[in-house]
Amino acid sequence: MKIEMEKRVYPVSEFRVEADEDGKPKKIVGYAARFNKLSEDLGGFREKIAPGAFAKTIQSADVRGLMNHDPNYVFGRTTSGTLRLSETRMGLKIEADPPDTQWFRDLATSIDRGDIDQMSFGFNTIADSWETKGRGEQEQNIRTLEEVELHDISVVTFPAYPQTEVAIRNLEKHKAENIHDETKKIDDKPIPDSAIAESESEDREGAITPVSILNKRLKLKERELNP
């Protein structure tokens, strides 16, 4: 089964274009992603990147630098040496030697003006983890990307925070596991004899007895019959 590629834009990503003495675009430098910074709401969960998530992929993947994830506009590539990626304490650092083309000169002008100021990256998830914080209306599901496979680093005009099937499947799995864990905690909690006595009194008044208490009574009866 083909793994769906995901795309992310983080508001803390940043970059700039450095020019040479003649004012021509010479180099792109900056960060495509920062570690341990929460994303926007991605449709029921928020996301952050763990340090080391890019460590393996930047050593082996053939990553392109693109404009708006469009393969027709390439400003660098890792296998050709025109795009260089590294992990620092802060996140995924990029450095690229862009082509001397009109489309990139136009792009550089838009970047200098501040019209375009964010980066995105396309990836497949290799490993992630989930946690739930808060309760009720304050509850938040947090996904942490532990390891990813990079496909591209892109300068983007519009930030996008799309849901992906793989992320939603993992979220539903996390929720199901949480429900199971909470149910298990309740089932494993011992029921005091006082609660059983109280439920017997409620039975006489027509109340419904919880299944867990009925099981407890059954076990007590078994002990009486088989001392």
Tens of pLDDT, residues 150-195: 999 999 887 655 444 454 555 566 666 665 455 455 555 555 555 5
Whole-model pTM?
0.68
> Are 164 and 132 a contacting pair, CB within 8 Å?
no
Cα radius of gyration rounded to whole Å, the chain = 27
The per-residue pLDDT of the chain, averaged, comes to 79
What stretches in the chain show pLDDT beneath 50? Answer: 1, 162-165, 167, 180, 183, 202-203, 205
The amino acid present at 222, given as its one-letter code, is: E
With tokens 């019959």, the residue in question is: 225
φ/ψ (deg, to 5) at 198: -65, -40
**What pLDDT is attached to residue 93?**
94
**What pLDDT is attached to residue 189?**
56
Closest by Cα among 10, 87, 13, 15 to 47: 10
**What pLDDT is attached to residue 164?**
45
φ/ψ (deg, to 5) at 43: 100, 60
